[in-house]
Structure 1
Amino acid sequence: MLRSSQAVALGRHEYCTQSEGSSRPISRYPIPYKKDLPYDLVELMEEVETKGGFLPNVFKALAHRPAEFRAFFAYYNALMNKETGNLTKADRELVVVVTSASNGCPYCVIAHSALHRIYSKKPTLADEVIINWELAELKQREHSMLEFALAIAKAENITEKHFAKLEEHGFDREDAWDIAMISAFFAMSNRISHFMDLRPNKEFYTLGRLPREKP
């Protein structure tokens, strides 16, 4: 495997190897230079950076494999930006947080707890879930959702009792599918992040906690 310093030594152009304020590389694999990437990847990355004010490191790291980058973000978009069903954006992010906390994934926990703070306007709930979701100040609806998400993440045997409990709190079978797919997708994402040693952007730590600076 080529670490970032080795990639530079071999004359490879890179986008950005380190998170600002840290000596650790973003990923243990080299980050491609922007001009060497396919146009569609650059277009998406620039759109994300313009909208959010920074480019999350997962985009840079997965650009190492363009075909997998496209597949990953296509499925991510289908799951997380879906406009039908009974799950809100905050619900979806909370599922990601509890799944990623269970798997001990720093990148996904930090990035998606930030997104949850933004969507929910609750600055501490994701932190409570990360520490101990069963003691977090959750509504019964959220509790049943996270309980089911963890059953999926931990590959438990799923029975009709799981569905019945969700239905008690207003989730139908299609909502159960959404919860399950998000949890399963991010259980995979957690393992990819571990493998790459993916580091979170410093911007994630304060998102949703401090007022956003105006341009």
Structure 2
Amino acid sequence: MSRYPLPDLNTLPDDIKAKALEVQEKAGFIPNVFLGLARRPAEWRAFFAYHDALMEPESTGRTSRLTKGDREMIVTATSAANRCLYCVVAHGALLRIHEKKPHVADQVAVNWRKATDITPRQRAMLEFAMKVCLRSHEIDDADWGALHAHGFDDEDIWDIAAITAFFGLSNRLASFSGMMPNPEFYLMGRVPREKKA
């Protein structure tokens, strides 16, 4: 399992514990990343502040033309390139839910170029995200033109690049620490969720 023991929820600072319980209420479980990073509270706060600004921009008052599905698709594809088991499984689950397509995460994670459940716009988005992930030093003005042709503006392009870069950090933290996906992620978006009584 993890190379760093997950801390007990009751030992966490109040703000981190409250956020973990909020996520548990919504998802039915606490994702291991919330506990795994909580061993360093200042870093946890910085990590999740940036995460929320990128993945939930409306929480900061900013609008983004990338859908939640688009954002999770970027994370799933680039995490697969970085071979991060935790992020592929966790964000693949969220991708299935937001796109309402049970096969899309597997397609994107294994070979996004052959994915049949993505649009030409999403394909262009992933092309750029993968270039940021693997060859950011090669990015030039032609990359902007290709994205503009699919209706992305310069702020959208920033979002694609920032999400890719942030999750490059997340991938490496999860991988080196041996963070494992919660079992619940594997079925999310594949089978109907049980309703609470």
TM-score tier (shorter): over 0.9
Residue range with higher mean Cα deviation, 183-192 or 153-162: 153-162
TM-score by length of 1: 0.86
Query: How many angstroms apart in 2 are the aligned matches of 1:205 and 1:34?
Result: 23
The 5 Å alignment of 1:129-168 reads 129-137=108-116, 138-156=118-136, 157-168=138-149
Does structure 1 residue 189 correspond to structure 2 residue 170? yes
Aligned length, in residue pairs: 190
* Maintained 8 Å contact 2:65/2:156: yes
Q: Which stretches of structure 1, 4 residues or more, deviate above 3 A after TM superposition? A: none
The 5 Å alignment of 1:59-138 reads 59-83=34-58, 84-137=63-116, 138=118
Which residue pairs with 2:6 in the alignment? 31
Query: Cα distance, 1:158 vs. partner?
Result: 1.3
Where in structure 1 are there 5+ consecutive unaligned residues? 1-24
Query: How many angstroms apart in 2 are the aligned matches of 1:162 and 1:204?
Result: 34
Task: Return the structure number with greater helix share.
Answer: 2
Where in structure 2 are there 5+ consecutive unaligned residues? none
Query: Cα distance, 1:174 vs. partner?
Result: 0.3
SS of 1:175's partner is helix
Query: How many angstroms apart in 1 are the aligned matches of 2:31 and 2:155?
Result: 30
Asked which structure has the greater RCO (Cα within 8 Å, sep 6+), the reply is 2
Which residue pairs with 1:43 in the alignment? 18
SS of 1:155's partner is helix
Which amino acid counterpart does residue 116 of structure 1 have in structure 2? L
SS of 1:47's partner is helix
Query: Cα distance, 1:37 vs. partner?
Result: 1.3
Q: What percent identity do the matched residue pairs reach?
A: 53
* Maintained 8 Å contact 2:9/2:35: no
CA RMSD of aligned residues (A): 0.9
Which amino acid counterpart does residue 58 of structure 1 have in structure 2? V
Query: Cα distance, 1:32 vs. partner?
Result: 1.7
Query: How many angstroms apart in 1 are the aligned matches of 2:65 and 2:9?
Result: 38
Query: How many angstroms apart in 2 are the aligned matches of 1:202 and 1:86?
Result: 32
Which amino acid counterpart does residue 71 of structure 1 have in structure 2? A
Which residue pairs with 1:20 in the alignment? none
Of structures 1 and 2, the larger Rg is shown by 1
SS of 1:97's partner is helix
Query: How many angstroms apart in 2 are the aligned matches of 1:161 and 1:95?
Result: 20
Query: Cα distance, 1:35 vs. partner?
Result: 2.5
Does structure 1 residue 180 correspond to structure 2 residue 155? no
SS of 2:39's partner is coil
